[in-house]
Structure 1
Amino acid sequence: MPQPLFLFLLLCTLCSSGLSQTLSLQRESRILLRVKNTQLEDKNKSLQNWVPNTDHNPCNWTGITCDAQNHSLVSIDLSETGIYGEFPFGFCHIHTLQNLSLASNFLSNSVSPNSLLLCSHLRLLNLSDNFFVGNLPEFPPEFTELRVLDLSTNNFTGDIPGSFGQIPRLRVLVLFGNLLSGTIPPSLGSLRELTRLELAYNPFKPGPLPPQLGNLSSLETLFLAGANLVGEIPPTIGNLTSLKNLDLSQNCLSGNIPNSISGLKNVEQIELFENQLSGELPQGLGNLSSLILLDTSQNALTGKLPHAIASLRLYSLNLNDNLLGGEIPESLASNPNLHQLKLFNNSFTGKLPQDLGQNSDIQEFDVSTNDFVGELPKYLCKRNKLERLITFGNRFSGTLPEQYGECGSLQYVRIQNNQLSGEVPPTFWALTGLQFLEMSNNRFQGSVSASISTALIKLILSANAFSGNFPTPICQLPHLLEIDVSKNRFTGEVPTCVTGLKKLQKLKMQENMFTGDIPSKVALWTDMTELNLSFNRFSGSIPRELGSLQGLTYLDLAGNSLTGEIPVELTNLRLNQFNVSDNNLYGEVPSGFNQQMYLSSLGGNPGLCSAVIKTLPPCSKRRPFSLLAIVVLVACVSLLVGSMLWFLKSKTRGKSKRSYMSTAFQRVGFNEEDIVSNLTQENVIGAGSSGRVYRVRLKTGQTVAVKKLFGGAHKPDTELVFRAEIETLGRIRHANIVKLLFSCSGDEFRVLVYEYMENGSLGDVLHGEERCGQLEWSRRFAIAVGAAQGLAYLHHDCVPPIVHRDVKSNNILLDHEFVPRVADFGLAKTLQHQTIQNADMSRVAGSYGYIAPEYAYTMKVTEKSDVYSFGVVLMELITGKRPNDCSFGENKDIVKWITEIVLSASPVRGSRNMGGGKYYTMTKIVDPRLNPTSCDYEEVKKVLNVALLCTSAFPINRPSMRKVVELLKDHKLP
C-alpha cells in the first residue's frame, strides 16, 4: 500500500476513535446529570461542579475517575458527600463503570433486584453506612465481574440469599452491622477467591459456624463477632492457611479451642473473647510465629499458660476472666514486642517473671485478682512506656520499686489489697502524668510527699500506715474528684485550702488523728456527695455551711470532740447516711433529725435532748406546768384516747376489717387507712393503662403522690411492676432519685406512695406551652446533670447495678426547686452477670422514641440502653421537641433529625463524628422559646455533643453514665 494512503487511513481511524470517545464522555456526562437531578438530593452542594461544560468532560467532577488511556469513566466514588435519595441505579447505565462507592451517606429504602441487574458489569459495589432497609437483594448469575461487595452498617433484614455464594470472582463480602436474622449459609464456603468475609454484629438465629467456611483457602479476614454463633469451633478452621485475622468474639461458642487452629500459619490476630470456651489453651498456638494479638478472655479456660505461647512475640496477650492457674513462664519476659498484658481474674500463682519490661515497651499491665506473691517486677517501666499498672487483689509484698518513680508515662495505678510495705519513693508521688492512684489496704508508711502530681483525679490511700500532716499541695490539684486517706495515722489540722477543690465529690478522712476545726468555707464544694471525718480528734462546732451542699448524701462526723448544737441547716440536706454520734454536742435535736430512726446517729452526746426520741433526755421547758395544768392535760389525753378507741371499735363492728399488707420505707406519719381513704376521683392527677396517680394531702399537712395499680395478685404485669418498684426504690437513696415512702397491697390493687413533686414531670413542663417559660437554659442544664447523676448512681453505685429500662422525660420528676428525680421503676431490673433478655420481661421495655435501636433485634437491655434513652432526653432539653415530633417528617425521630442537621453543616462533609459540632447552625436545633440573651450556646453545644455520643448506633460507642456526668460537668467540649 502506498505510504500516503496508509497515513490517510491511519488518520481517519484516529479521528474516528477520538470522535467515538468524545461522544461516549458526552453520553456519560448526561447520565451523571440525569441521576443527580432525578435520583439524588445534594443538600450539601457536594456535587455543585456537576454542571454541563464546553468540552462535555465529566472526568474532573467530584468523585469521578476516568481511564486516561481510553478516556472512559471507570469509577464513581461519592462516599461521605452527604447525599440523599434511594439507590441511584441510573449510574449503571454507564457500561464502562467498574467501581461504584456510595458509602457513608443518607441513602435509604430497599434495593430492588431489577434496579441492581443494571449493575452486573461492576467490579466494586459499596453501599455501606447508609439507611437501606428490607431484604438483601439477590445477585443474579450475570454478576461475573464483581470482586468487592460492601453492604455493611445498614438496616438490611432477613436471610443472606443463596446467590451470594454463587458470585464466582467475589473476593470481599462485608455485611456487618445490619439486622440480618437468618443463619450463616454454608454456601458461602463456595467462594474460593474470597479474601475477606465480615458478617459481624448481626442478630442471626443461633447457629453453628459452618465447617464449609474451611474451604476458603484464600481467606485473610474472618470477622464474625457478635453473630450468635453456638456450638464448637469446627476443626476445619485450621484449613484457612492464608488467614491473618480471626475474630469470633462475643458469641456463645463452647467446647475446646480445636488443636487444628495451629494450622493458621499466617495468622496475626486471634479474637475469641466473650464466649463459653473451656478446656486448656492448645499447645499448637505456640507454633503460630506470625501471631501478634491473642485474646481468649472472658471464657472458662483452665490449665496453665503454656511455655510455647508465652514465648511468642505477641504485641498483646489477653487471658483475663478465665479459670487459668499455675505460674507464669519466665519466657514471657523475653518477648521484645509485648505492649499489653491482661491476666486479671484468674487463679495464677507464684512470682511474676522479674524481667518483665526489661526487653519490651509494656504500656498496659493488669494482673489483678490472682494469687501472685513476691515483689513487683521492677523493670516494668524501663522503656518509659507504661501507662496502666494494675495489680490489686494479690499477695505482692516488698516495697514499691524505686524505678517506678522514674516512669513519666504512668497514668493509672491500682495496687490495693496486697502486702506492699515501706515508704513510697518521693519521685513516684511527683509523676506528672499520674491521674488515678489507688493503693489502699497495704502496709505503706511514711508521709505523702508535698510534690504530688497535679494531674490526679482520684487519690485513694486508705488502710495503710501513712503518717504526718495532710500535705497542703493537694489543694492545688484542680481535677481532684476523690480523696480517701481513711484508716491511716495522719495528724495535725486539715488545711482550710482543701475547700477550694471545686470538683471534689468525696472526701474520706475517717480513722486518723486529725485535730482542729472542720473547715467551714465549703461553698465551692458544689459537687460534694460524701464527707466522712469520723473517728478523729476534730473539735469546735459543726459548720452550718455544710447545710448548703445540696448534693451531699453522706455525712459522718462521729467519734470526734465536736461541741455546740447540731446546725438546723443540716436538715436541708437529703442524707442517706447521717452520723454525729459520740461527740460533745448539746441542745435540742433539730426537727429534721428528731425521729427515733436517728437514735444511733445521735447517741453518745449527753447534752442532746429531744421531746420525741424517748432514749434522749427531754428538753427543759421555759415555763413549767402547774400541777393543775398537768392534771387537766392528763384528763384531756385520757378522754381523747378513749374516744379514739371507741370510734375505732365501732368502725370495726360496722364493716368488715380490710386486709392490707403495708411496708414503710421511710419514717412516715401515716398508715394505709390515711392513704386508701383519700384515693378519690377529685384527687386524681394522672391515669394510665395500669392504674391512676393521686395527689393526697394528709391530715398532717404533708402532700404525697400515690400510684394505685389495678389488678392485684391475679394480674401478673401489675405484680411485676409493683415488685420492681419496691425492690429497687425501697433499697436505694439518692438526691436525684424519687423517694418511695410506703407501699400497701390489697386483694384488688397495689398502692405505692412517693414524695410529691410540685412541678410534675420534665415532659409536662418542657412540652406544655403554658409552663415552658419556667425552663430557661441554666435550669435545663441543671436538670440534665442531676438526672445523669441519678442514673449513674443506679448503674455504678448500686450492688447489683440497676437498669431503669424506661428513661424518658415523663419519668424525670421536678420538685419545687426544679431539682430532678428519676422515677417510675416499674420496668427496672438488676444486672447480675448477664444482660437482661426478653425472656425476663413481662412487656416491651421502654417507650417509643426512647428505645435503643439494638433492642429491636437483640431483645437485650443493658446500661447502654439507658444511656441511649438519656441521650434522647438531652435532645428534648435542647430542642423542646418530643422524640417523635411530626415536624421531623415521616419515619424520622429526634435522633435522626438532629444527626442530619449536624452532619449537613459539619466542616468534614458526611463525617459521623461530632468533631465539627461548633460549626453547625444552632438556631435550627435550639428551642426557640429559650431567651437568646441568657442561653449559653457553648454549653448547649457541649450537651448536644454528649447527646450524640449517648445515641450512637452501636452500644459499645456510648459512654457510661458516670462518663456522661463527667462530660456534662467538664468545661471543655467532649
Structure 2
Amino acid sequence: MHLLFLLLILPTVYSLNQEGFILQQVKHSLDDPLSSLASWNPQDDSPCRWSGVYCGGDFTSVTSIDLSGAKLSGPFPSVICHLSRLLQTLDLSQNLLTGELPHTLADLPFLTSLDLTGNNFSGDIPASFGRFENLEVLSLVYNLLDGTIPPFLGNITSLKMLNLSYNPFTPGRIPPELGNLTSLEVLWLTECRLLGEIPDSLGRLTELVDLDLALNDLVGPIPRSLRGLKSVVQIELYNNSLTGAIPPELGELKSLRLFDASMNQLTGSIPEELCRVALESLNLYENNLEGEVPESLASSPNLYELRLFGNRFTGELPRDLGRNSPLKWLDVSQNEFSGELPPELCGKGELEELLIIHNSFSGPLPESLGDCRSLTRVRLAYNRFSGQVPAGFWGLPHVYLLELVNNSFSGEVSKTIGGASNLSQLILTNNEFTGSLPEEIGSLDNLNQLSAGGNKFSGSLPDSLMNLDELGTLDLHGNRFTGELSPKIKSWKKLNQLNLAGNRFSGQIPVEIGNLSVLNYLDLSGNLFSGNIPVSLQSLKLNQLNLSYNRLTGELPPSLAKEMYKNSFLGNPGLCGDIKGLCGSGDEAKNKGYVWVLRSIFVLAVMVFVAGLAWFYFKYKTFKKERAVERSKWTLMSFHKLGFSEHEILESLDEDNVIGAGASGKVYKVVLTNGETVAVKRLWTGGSVKEAGDTDPEKGERRGVKDEAFEAEVETLGKIRHKNIVKLWCCCTTRDCKLLVYEYMPNGSLGDLIHSSKGGTLGWQTRFKIILDAAEGLSYLHHDCVPPIVHRDVKSNNILIDGDYGARVADFGVAKVVDLTGKAPKSMSGIAGSCGYIAPEYAYTLRVNEKSDIYSFGVVILEIVTRKRPVAPELGEKDLVKWVCSTLDQKGVEHVIDPKLDSCFKEEISKILNIGLLCTSPLPINRPSMRRVVKMLQEIGGGDDESHNKTKDGKLTPYYNEEASDQGSIA
C-alpha cells in the first residue's frame, strides 16, 4: 500500500527520492502546530536538508531523524519504519504522540538509538523489541505504558542505556533477565510501580554507571550482589520499602560517588566500609538507622551533600566533617546527635544549608560559622546550644532563614545583622537573649518574619522597625520591652500576626492598627496599655484578639462588645460594655433593676393573654415537642468564637435565602441578628435516609462520598488560619443532614464573576490581586501546612471573592494531605477535579501531588487573562491550555488577552500569562512549586521589569524553571 501511494504521488513530486516520499507521509500523518516540518518541501530532490533530518556521508540515505520538542501530535507514524535500513537514530521525544508503539520498529536493524521520551504512548512494549541487535539507547520515559516490564528486553544485549521511568506500568517485578545486559551503562526504572525484591542478577552489570530504582514499592534487603557493579557511580534506591542493613560490600564499589537509599525502612548503622569510598553525596534520611556516623566519612575529599535526618543516630558528628571536602548541604535533623558542632563545617567556604533541628547538640556555635558567607538556610532549633552567637553569624549576606528556637543562646543581637540583606525569617524564640533590638534590623528589606518570644529583650522597639514593609509576622511575646507603639505601625501593610503579649509596653494602643487590613492575629495582653480601645479595631477581620490584663478604660467599640470576646478584655477594670462582668457593681445593680422591670412586664403580659393562648398551646404542643427533639439532635462544632447559635442558622434555611445549588446540596445566605452575614452549605447524606439496614448500593455510595467530602472539608478548614483560605466558622450535624457555616463572600465565586457581564469591567490590577491572593492561599496549603495539603479541585468556581475583591480558596471536599513519610503519592479510587482543570498525568495515574494543583491553578490564570472558560464550544476540540498555546504560536499574544483589558498593561499581562503556561506544562517536573509561583507574581507586581522576560513581536519568551529541588527534612 505504501508503494502504491508513492506511485500515485510520483507525478507531482517527481524529483523527490523514495526516503523523501516516506517522510512526506510522516508529515501528512501528524499535526504540526509549531510548523516544525515546514522545511519538508516535496519539490526537493532529497530530504537531507530538511529540518531534523540527517544523512550519511553519501548524502543520499537518511541516518538520523530528530524531531524532539516539536509538539507533534497524532499516532506514531509507522511508515517511518520503511525508511532505509541505514537509519541509526530516531528521536521523537517531548511531543504529544499517542497510541501503541508499532512492532515494525524492530524492522530497522541498524537502529542504535530510539528516544520516545515525554509522549503519550500507551499499551505494552512490543515483543518484537527483543529482536533489536544494534540498539544501544532505548528511552521511553514519561509515557503511559501500562503493561509489565517485559523479560525479553534482556535479549537486547547491545543496550547501553535503558530508561523506562515514570510510566504507569502494571505492578510487577524487575525481570531478572535484565542481568543479561552486560553492556548496560544506565538503567533507570524510576516510578515504574515495581514490586518484590531487587534481583541478584543486577550484580552482573559490570559496566553499569547509573542505577535508579527509586519511587517504587521494592521490598527486602539491598542485595549484596551489587558488589559486582564495579563501574557504578550513582545508585538511587530512595522511596521504596527496603529493609535490613546497608551491605558493607558496597564499600568495594570504588567508583561510587552518589548513594541514595532514603525513605525506606533500613536498619542498623552506616557501614565503615561505605564511608571509606570517596563519596560525594550520601542520602539516608527517613529510615530506622542508628549508631554513630563513621569518622572516615569526613575524609571523602569531594563530599558535598550529607542528609541523614529522620533516623536514630547518636554520638557526635565526625570532628573533621567539612574540613577536607566542599560540604554544601548538611541535614541531620530529628536524630539523637550530641556534643558540639565540628569546628570546620564550612572549611571550604561552600556550606549553604545547615539543618540540625531536634537533636541534643550543645556548647557554643563554632566561630568559623561567622565567616561562612555561603550559608543560605540555617535551622538549629530544639537543641542545647548556649553562649553568644558569633557576631559575624548575624550578618551573613545570603542567609534567608535563621532559626535558633529552643536553645540557651545568650547575649545581644549584634549590629552586624544589618548586613544580612537577604534575611526573610529571623526566629529566635525561647532562648536567653538580652538587650535591645539593634536599629540595624530595620534595614532588612526582605524580612517577613521576626519571632523572638520567650527571651529577655528589653528597651523600646527601634524606630527603624517601622521601615519593614514586607513584615508579615512580629512575635515578641514574653520579653521585657517597654515604651509606646509608634503610629508608624501603619507601614506594616502585610502584617498578618502581631503578638506583643507579656511585655511592659505602655501608652495608648495606636489607632493606626486598624489600618492593617490583613491582620488576623492581635495579642497585646499582659502589658501596661491605657486609654480607650481604638474604634478602628472594628475594621479588622481577626481570628484572635487578646487585650486582657492591661489598663484600658472606657466603652468597648460596639462590634467588639460581644460575649464571644469576653476573655479578650479580662483584667481591665476600667472597661465597660455590654459584656457581663466588665463594669463595676453600680452598673450591675442598675442592670439588675432594668431586668426586674422587664421581667415584671413580661409576666403581666403572659397573665393577660394566657386564656387566649391556652387553646393555641394545647393545639401545637405536639409540634413544639417534635421540634425540640429535632433541634436536640444537632451537634455543633465551632472553629472560631461564635456570636450566634445553631438555632439561628436553622431558622434561616428557607428557599428565599438560597444563593447556589450543586450536586452535594444547597448554599444559603444567612443574615444574623448581630448584623453579620454567613454562607451555609447544606449537605444531604441521601435523598431519603434509611437505617443501617439500607442495602441500596447506589445511595450508599453517594452517601459515603458526601460524608467523605464533609469530613475532608471539616478536617482541612477546621485547622487552617490564612487570609486567603475561606474561614469555616463551624459545622452542625445530625444523622441525615450536615451544615457548614462559612464567612460570606459578597462577590461570589471567581468563575461566576469573571464570566458574567461584570467580568469585563474587572481591571487588570483587580485580576492580578485575585491571582496573587489565590496563589498565596495554595502556597500556604502546599508549603506551610503540616502535613501539606493538596486541594485536588482548584478551579475558578472554588475561588471566592470578598467585598474588596480579595480571593479565598474554598471547597476542600476532595482535599488530601500529602504523606510526610515521603512515599510516592498513592493512587486515588477515582478522578477528583473538574473538566478542563485536570492535569494530564492525574487523569491516567490518579496520583495525587502538589503538581496537580499547580496545573489547575495555571488554567485559572489563563481563564482570568483570556476570560474564556477551560472548556467551551468557541475553543473547538481544544481545551483552554491548547487553545492558548496554538493561538500564541499562530497569531500572537494580542489574540489571547481579553480585549477588555487596558493595553497599557500588556507587558505585565504577558508575564502572568507566561507563568500560567509554565504551570500547565505537560510534564509535572517542569512546573514550578506554588512558593516559586508566588515569588514570580510578587516580582512582577513589584514592577521590576529588568528581571523579567520581554514580549517580542507578539510572542512570549518562556520562563525557565530555576527552582532547585528542596529535599530538606521536616526542616
2:804 aligned with 1:817, yes or no?
yes
Where 2:922 maps in the other structure, the secondary structure is coil
Partner amino acid, structure 1, of 2:580: K
Residue in structure 1 matched with residue 955 of structure 2 by the alignment: none
Q: Of 370, 380, 383, which aligns to 1:418? A: 383
Partner amino acid, structure 2, of 1:124: T
Residues 310 and 100 (structure 1), Cα distance of their counterparts in 2 relative to 1, 3 Å cut? same
Where 2:542 maps in the other structure, the secondary structure is coil
Report the Cα distance in structure 2 between the residues aligned to 1:48 and 1:109, rounded to whole angstroms: 17
Report the Cα distance in structure 1 between the residues aligned to 2:881 and 2:27, rounded to whole angstroms: 28
TM-score by length of 2: 0.87
Report the Cα distance in structure 2 between the residues aligned to 1:245 and 1:641, rounded to whole angstroms: 90
Q: How far off is 1:942 after superposition?
A: 3.6
Partner amino acid, structure 1, of 2:720: I
Q: How does 1:582-621 map to 2 (within 5 A)?
A: 582-611=549-578, 613-617=579-583
Cα deviation 1:910-954 (Å, max 9, x = unaligned): xxxxxxxxxx94323221122334xx3343234333323332334
Residues 826 and 305 (structure 1), Cα distance of their counterparts in 2 relative to 1, 3 Å cut? same
2:428 aligned with 1:461, yes or no?
yes
Partner amino acid, structure 2, of 1:859: L
Contact preservation (8 Å) 1:220, 1:244: yes
Q: How far off is 1:45 after superposition?
A: 6.3
2:859 aligned with 1:872, yes or no?
yes
Cα deviation 1:41-82 (Å, max 9, x = unaligned): 7765666666699x96765554454445x2x24xxxxxxxxx
Contact preservation (8 Å) 1:168, 1:191: yes
Residue in structure 1 matched with residue 751 of structure 2 by the alignment: 763
Residues 626 and 792 (structure 1), Cα distance of their counterparts in 2 relative to 1, 3 Å cut? closer
Residues 598 and 798 (structure 1), Cα distance of their counterparts in 2 relative to 1, 3 Å cut? farther
Partner amino acid, structure 2, of 1:472: E
Residue in structure 1 matched with residue 240 of structure 2 by the alignment: 275
2:503 aligned with 1:536, yes or no?
yes
Partner amino acid, structure 2, of 1:722: F
Q: How does 1:380-779 map to 2 (within 5 A)?
A: 380-452=345-417, 453-611=420-578, 613-617=579-583, 632-638=597-603, 651-654=620-623, 656-657=626-627, 659=630, 660-663=633-636, 665=638, 666-668=640-642, 671-672=645-646, 674-697=648-671, 702-712=676-686, 715-746=703-734, 748-768=736-756, 770-779=757-766
Where 1:608 maps in the other structure, the secondary structure is strand
Report the Cα distance in structure 2 between the residues aligned to 1:479 and 1:635, rounded to whole angstroms: 65
Residue in structure 2 matched with residue 828 of structure 1 by the alignment: 815
Residue in structure 2 matched with residue 150 of structure 1 by the alignment: 115
Residues 28 and 140 (structure 1), Cα distance of their counterparts in 2 relative to 1, 3 Å cut? closer
Report the Cα distance in structure 2 between the residues aligned to 1:389 and 1:216, rounded to whole angstroms: 42
Residue in structure 2 matched with residue 305 of structure 1 by the alignment: 270
Residue in structure 2 matched with residue 20 of structure 1 by the alignment: none
Cα deviation 1:942-974 (Å, max 9, x = unaligned): 433332333233434433333333332233547
The number of residue pairs the alignment matches comes to 905
2:209 aligned with 1:244, yes or no?
yes
Contact preservation (8 Å) 1:576, 1:734: no
Residues 791 and 45 (structure 1), Cα distance of their counterparts in 2 relative to 1, 3 Å cut? closer
Report the Cα distance in structure 2 between the residues aligned to 1:192 and 1:426, rounded to whole angstroms: 62
Q: How far off is 1:297 after superposition?
A: 0.8
Contact preservation (8 Å) 2:36, 2:70: no
2:904 aligned with 1:895, yes or no?
no
Q: How does 1:903-914 map to 2 (within 5 A)?
A: 904=889
Give the stretch that moved more between structures: 457-466 or 825-834.
Answer: 825-834
Give the stretch that moved more between structures: 707-716 or 374-383.
Answer: 707-716
Cα deviation 1:423-460 (Å, max 9, x = unaligned): 22222222222222112222222211212211212111
Partner amino acid, structure 2, of 1:775: L
Report the Cα distance in structure 1 between the residues aligned to 2:238 and 2:387, rounded to whole angstroms: 39
Q: How far off is 1:259 after superposition?
A: 0.3
Where 1:420 maps in the other structure, the secondary structure is strand
Q: How far off is 1:170 after superposition?
A: 1.4
Residues 738 and 620 (structure 1), Cα distance of their counterparts in 2 relative to 1, 3 Å cut? farther
Give the stretch that moved more between structures: 957-966 or 449-458.
Answer: 957-966
Report the Cα distance in structure 2 between the residues aligned to 1:504 and 1:730, rounded to whole angstroms: 26
Residue in structure 1 matched with residue 969 of structure 2 by the alignment: none
Q: How far off is 1:119 after superposition?
A: 6.2
Where 1:252 maps in the other structure, the secondary structure is coil
Q: How far off is 1:747 after superposition?
A: 5.3
Report the Cα distance in structure 1 between the residues aligned to 2:591 and 2:734, rounded to whole angstroms: 46
Report the Cα distance in structure 1 between the residues aligned to 2:536 and 2:359, rounded to whole angstroms: 45
Report the Cα distance in structure 2 between the residues aligned to 1:141 and 1:800, rounded to whole angstroms: 48
Cα deviation 1:284-324 (Å, max 9, x = unaligned): 10000011111111111111111111111111111111111
Give the stretch that moved more between structures: 533-542 or 131-140.
Answer: 131-140
Contact preservation (8 Å) 2:682, 2:737: yes
Report the Cα distance in structure 1 between the residues aligned to 2:674 and 2:621, rounded to whole angstroms: 24
Cα deviation 1:893-915 (Å, max 9, x = unaligned): 2223334456x48xxxxxxxxxx
Partner amino acid, structure 2, of 1:822: V
Partner amino acid, structure 2, of 1:969: Q
Q: Of 890, 912, 927, which aligns to 1:958? A: 927
Where 2:636 maps in the other structure, the secondary structure is strand
Report the Cα distance in structure 2 between the residues aligned to 1:34 and 1:136, rounded to whole angstroms: 20
Residues 794 and 441 (structure 1), Cα distance of their counterparts in 2 relative to 1, 3 Å cut? same
2:257 aligned with 1:284, yes or no?
no
Where 2:580 maps in the other structure, the secondary structure is coil
Residues 640 and 504 (structure 1), Cα distance of their counterparts in 2 relative to 1, 3 Å cut? farther
Report the Cα distance in structure 2 between the residues aligned to 1:828 and 1:43, rounded to whole angstroms: 36
Q: How far off is 1:332 after superposition?
A: 0.9
Q: How far off is 1:413 after superposition?
A: 1.3
Partner amino acid, structure 2, of 1:364: W
Residues 285 and 384 (structure 1), Cα distance of their counterparts in 2 relative to 1, 3 Å cut? same
Q: How far off is 1:128 after superposition?
A: 0.9
Cα deviation 1:569-600 (Å, max 9, x = unaligned): 22222222211111111122223332223222
Where 1:132 maps in the other structure, the secondary structure is strand
Residues 584 and 896 (structure 1), Cα distance of their counterparts in 2 relative to 1, 3 Å cut? same
Contact preservation (8 Å) 1:772, 1:929: no
Please list every run of 5 or more consecutive structure 1 residues that lacks an aligned counterpart in the other structure: 1-22, 74-95, 906-919
Report the Cα distance in structure 1 between the residues aligned to 2:120 and 2:833, rounded to whole angstroms: 21
Contact preservation (8 Å) 2:375, 2:399: yes
Where 1:294 maps in the other structure, the secondary structure is strand
Residues 641 and 330 (structure 1), Cα distance of their counterparts in 2 relative to 1, 3 Å cut? farther
Residues 635 and 173 (structure 1), Cα distance of their counterparts in 2 relative to 1, 3 Å cut? same
Q: How far off is 1:861 after superposition?
A: 1.7
Residues 45 and 871 (structure 1), Cα distance of their counterparts in 2 relative to 1, 3 Å cut? closer
Report the Cα distance in structure 2 between the residues aligned to 1:212 and 1:139, rounded to whole angstroms: 23
Please list every run of 5 or more consecutive structure 2 residues that lacks an aligned counterpart in the other structure: 1-12, 691-702, 949-958, 960-971
Q: How far off is 1:275 after superposition?
A: 0.7
Residue in structure 2 matched with residue 190 of structure 1 by the alignment: 155
Cα deviation 1:539-561 (Å, max 9, x = unaligned): 11111211122221211111111
Q: Of 280, 286, 290, which aligns to 1:315? A: 280
Where 1:861 maps in the other structure, the secondary structure is coil
Partner amino acid, structure 2, of 1:27: N
Partner amino acid, structure 2, of 1:617: C
Partner amino acid, structure 2, of 1:684: V
Residues 363 and 729 (structure 1), Cα distance of their counterparts in 2 relative to 1, 3 Å cut? closer
Q: Of 802, 819, 843, which aligns to 1:856? A: 843
